[in-house]
Chain A
């Protein structure tokens, strides 16, 4: 088993068009590092100055990692990590 990482449309240029890729690691930072080893450039689009970029949201099993521990959030096999750009949503 591995950790599934779902990639939004605008970042699929880094994954050869793949909607999801697999990775490994014990924290989100390690997972991103691992995925970046095969999909070079992805890390730089997600992370800046030691944290997530302002307009990037990352969810671990549907929960926003900013409330779980940010890049240090523990991850494990079988988890699903979803990356989405921040957009205006909801009933506005």
Chain B
């Protein structure tokens, strides 16, 4: 396939069958490999759409400073687009994220401000909002509340899935900004009667929930409960175990959030098989495993890998 530039190659990612992990020939699992995007993650879609929209709205001019709270992938995507378009990027990222994310951000020329590990992405959002108030000339795209994030998936991920898998019965993705689930979910609901939209939410170690009180919690502005059919909390151990199965059974070297989605997808598949129903369950592989090698997720015992991930933002 030929493209005029890297950004033109965004999306149209492959949907790969998982024959060995599927419960039966009538209940099939499919993985949409979002690591086949320009910087290697699903976030390229949202980053590109958010920058395009900000340009249309006149919010960005050459030399503008973009500010964004991110656990890594969105920052890497924004850094690439910003470097091509002549913007500067400052990201606020929790300090408990993998080393590779920092390296990639630096390679693309982003400036990194670290936020405290305790509180995870909540803290990053809080610090970014404070910086945004202090620097009114900086442009915060704010992925958690930017409609262009969800729209990217409504206009690309959703139609791609429907074209490749018209018989789709379930869509499963990780829950972060909620953009992937909201956008893809709305599109699929409009086109596939009865489709189930299922969120797989990473359950981190206690440090990440280290809020001072419950009222400091955070629900992304993009989140609309009615788009979802249900929502599962997936432990680090279950996500790690499924990530390794994806690698060993199907040859797919994926990031840990893919294991989170697979764990939920497979339990839906098992339920469908037990009920004697056919199902075609599509899940998102948000990124490849490269950025997580330093976490030790792929080798040694599961218990060791789990304890190494304790306190890390692994998705």
Docked-complex contact A8 and B232, CB < 8 angstroms:
no
* A9, B311: Cα distance in complex, Å: 13
Contact B175 A45 (CB under 8 A): no
Interface residue from B201, B217, B225, B228 paired with A85 (Cβ < 8 Å): B217
Give every chain A residue within 8 A of B201 (Cβ-Cβ). 64, 89-90
B143 interface residue per 8 A CB criterion: yes
B217 x A55 contact (CB < 8 A): yes
- Is A10 in contact with B213, judged by CB distance below 8 angstroms? yes
Interface of chain B: mostly helix, strand, loop or mixed: mixed
| B176: contacting residue among A10, A53, A68, A91, CB under 8 A | A91
Q: Separation in Å of the B231 CB from the closest CB of chain A?
A: 4
Residues of chain B within 8 A of A11, CB atoms compared: 214
Tell yes or no: A63 within 8 A of B by CB. yes
- B-side contacts of A62, CB under 8 Å: 232-235
Judge if A71 is at the interface, Cβ distance under 8 Å.
no
Give min CB distance, B305 to chain A, whole Å.
Answer: 18
Nearest CB of chain B from residue A40's CB, rounded to whole Å: 17
Identify A86's interface contact among B144, B218, B257, CB under 8 A.
Answer: B218
Chain B residues with CB below 8 A from A67, complex form:
228-231
B72 interface hit (Cβ, 8 Å): yes
- A88 CB contact (under 8 Å) in B122, B255, B287: B122
How long is the Cα–Cα vector from A9 to B213 in the complex, in angstroms? 10
Most buried by B among A10, A54, A56, A88: A88
A78–B126 alpha-carbon span in the complex (Å)? 39
Chain A CB within 8 A of B194 CB: no
B212 at the interface (CB under 8 A from A): yes
* B233 with A92: CB separation less than 8 A: no
Q: For B220, what are the chain A residues with a Cβ–Cβ distance below 8 Å? A: 88
From B70, B225, B234, B255, A92 is in contact (CB under 8 Å) with B70
Quick check: A91 and B255 within 8 Å, CB to CB?
yes
Q: Which of A54, A56, A63, A86 has the most CB of B within 10 A?
A: A86
User: If A62-B232, A67-B229 touch, does A10 touch B121 (CB 8 Å cutoff)?
Assistant: no
Q: Say yes or no: B120 contacts A87, CB within 8 Å.
A: yes
Q: State which residues 192-243 of B face A: CB under 8 Å.
A: 199, 201-204, 206, 208-220, 225, 228-235
**Within residues 49 to 90 of chain A, which ones have a CB less than 8 A from any CB in chain B?**
53-57, 59, 62-64, 66-68, 82, 84-90
Tell me if B176 and A64 are in contact (CB < 8 A): no
Q: Which residues of A contact B120 (CB under 8 A)?
A: 87-89
> Which residues on A sit within 8 Å (CB–CB) of B43?
91-92
**Which of B210, B216, B232, B233 is most buried by chain A, counting CB atoms within 10 A of its CB?**
B233
Within 8 A of A (CB), among B229-272: 229-235, 255, 257
Chain B residues in the interface with A (C-beta under 8 A): 41-43, 69-74, 119-122, 124-125, 143-144, 174-177, 199, 201-204, 206, 208-220, 225, 228-235, 255, 257, 286-287, 313, 315
**Can you identify 8 A-B contacts, CB atoms within 8 angstroms?**
A10-B211, A53-B214, A66-B231, A88-B124, A90-B175, A90-B201, A91-B72, A92-B73
Which 7 interchain pairs have the tightest Cβ spacing? Answer: A90-B176, A55-B217, A88-B121, A64-B231, A86-B217, A67-B230, A92-B176
Given A88-B144, A89-B176, 4 further pairs, Cβ under 8 A: A91-B286, A91-B315, A92-B69, A92-B176
